[in-house]
């Protein structure tokens, strides 16, 4: 690559898996139009579930035809400013959330869509937009209260580890579900009241024995059997928020034959509620500011997965790493 060009990742075709859909493209670094800034991305957040689904053409609210750019959130440094841009200067650290703006070394973006931060560090990506999703899902969809039992699945993941802490900060008893002892250690440090490693312990049995009145609020990222067990263990008036179902993203949809779900919900006045961040946009700015305040005042810890991924070439491996459940904290790629 010469110094006037940059690399980005595009989906060149729809495919069942991410790796078969993508290619790296090299282009000249753009000049800003008057309303734009040019950002040198330093870190991008990896959303392997979304990446896989979008490359398969399975994100129902997005209608794209390949080729299209990949990646969403990035944090970086402003390197050029359009003539009409007043609020940014060269050298500013900024974070962006834009479809196609993440998996690339440079991006041109309308200045209104960038947000200034103190430093362009990977920790910012645990909050924006990942932590925002956790906060909005818990509060707006889950109607989180205090002194309730809150259960978080994939609790040591990017989204989950923020959800755990927000539920604790609200004054709840928090159960964190995870798949390894290393992840359990992180959850201990974050203040989880009960940590369950579903690979070595019987989740259903523990919930039945230790929480006979059920779980009031479930934040589920995983789906499949974990979802089923969580539905079965909801408390009276319990709420289960479907944040995602990552256990199905790499596979075909699991077909199940069983009584309709109202048979389980009705008798407890319980509910299962879907959450999709793009449908709750109006809450994003307030959530972002609150999370940054919590982080800067040391009330919120953030975990970036320690595995290093460097460069656009490393993105498929980062996606694979997350989809194999090997991460602890938010997965990021460094450029």
**38, 39, 128, 277: which one contacts ligand NAP (CB under 6 A)?**
277
Query: How would DSSP label each residue in 59-83?
Result: -TT----SSEE---EEEEEEEEE-T
The residue assigned the tokens 């490693």 is 197
Is the dihedral angle over the CA atoms 53, 282, 330, 147 positive or is it negative?
A: negative
Using CB under 6 A, which of 41, 165, 172, 327 touches ligand NAP?
327
d(CA 183, CA 186) in angstroms, rounded, equals 5
Binding to ligand NAP by residue 179, rule CB under 6 A?
Answer: yes
142 touches 114 (CB < 8 A): no
Contacts of 330 by beta carbon, 8 Å cutoff, 6+ apart: 45, 46, 122, 125, 126, 130, 157, 158, 161, 302, 303, 304, 305
Among the listed residues 29, 169, 265, 276, the single contact to ligand NAP using CB under 6 A: 276
Longest CA–CA span in the chain (Å) reads: 65
Binding ligand NAP by CB under 6 A: which of 49, 100, 122, 238? 49
Q: How far is the CB of 133 from ligand NAP (least distance, A)?
A: 4
- Does position 101 interact with ligand NAP (CB under 6 A)? The reply is no
Q: Return the range that interacts with ligand NAP (CB under 6 A); candidates 102-110, 143-151, 176-184, 186-194.
A: 176-184
Among 38, 319, 322, 332, binds ligand NAP (CB under 6 A): 322
Number of neighbours of residue 13 by Cβ within 10 angstroms: 14
Q: Which of 131, 158, 214, 238 binds ligand NAP (CB under 6 A)?
A: 158
Number of residues lying near ligand NAP (CB under 6 A): 28
Out of 10, 135, 243, 318, the residue judged to bind ligand NAP by CB under 6 A? 243
207: nearest Cα among 215, 219, 218: 215
Residues binding ligand NAP (CB under 6 A): 47, 49-50, 130, 133, 154, 156-160, 178-180, 183, 221-222, 243-244, 246-247, 275-277, 322-323, 325, 327
């Amino acid at each position: 690559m010469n110094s006037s060009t940059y690399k980005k990742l595009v989906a060149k075709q729809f495919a069942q898996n991410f790796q078969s859909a993508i290619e790296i493209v090299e282009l000249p670094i753009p000049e800003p139009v008057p309303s734009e800034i040019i950002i040198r991305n330093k870190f991008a957040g990896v959303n392997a579930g979304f990446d896989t689904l979008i490359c398969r053409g399975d994100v129902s609210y997005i209608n794209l035809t390949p080729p299209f750019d990949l990646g969403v959130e990035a944090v970086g440094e402003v390197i050029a400013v359009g003539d009409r841009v007043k609020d940014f200067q060269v050298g500013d650290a900024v974070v962006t959330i834009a479809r196609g703006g993440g998996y690339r070394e440079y991006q041109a973006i309308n200045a209104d869509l960038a947000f200034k931060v103190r430093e362009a560090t990977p920790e910012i990506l645990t909050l924006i937009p990942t932590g925002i999703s956790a906060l909005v899902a818990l509060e707006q969809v889950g109607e989180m209260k205090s002194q309730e039992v809150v259960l978080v699945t994939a609790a040591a993941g990017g989204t989950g580890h923020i959800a755990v802490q927000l539920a604790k900060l609200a004054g709840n008893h928090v159960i964190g579900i995870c798949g390894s002892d290393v992840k359990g250690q992180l959850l201990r440090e974050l203040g989880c009241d009960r940590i369950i490693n579903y690979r070595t312990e019987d989740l259903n049995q523990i919930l039945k024995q230790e929480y006979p009145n059920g779980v009031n609020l479930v934040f589920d990222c995983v789906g499949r059997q974990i979802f089923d067990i969580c539905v079965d263990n909801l408390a009276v008036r319990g709420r289960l928020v479907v944040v995602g179902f990552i256990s199905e993203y790499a596979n075909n949809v699991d077909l199940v034959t069983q009584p309709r779900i109202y048979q389980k919900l009705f008798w407890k006045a319980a509910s299962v509620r879907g959450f999709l961040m793009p449908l709750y946009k109006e809450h994003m700015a307030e959530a972002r500011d609150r999370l940054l305040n919590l982080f800067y005042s040391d009330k919120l810890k953030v975990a970036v997965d320690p595995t290093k991924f460097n460069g656009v070439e490393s993105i498929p491996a980062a996606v694979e790493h997350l989809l194999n459940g090997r991460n602890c904290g938010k997965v990021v790629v460094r450029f």
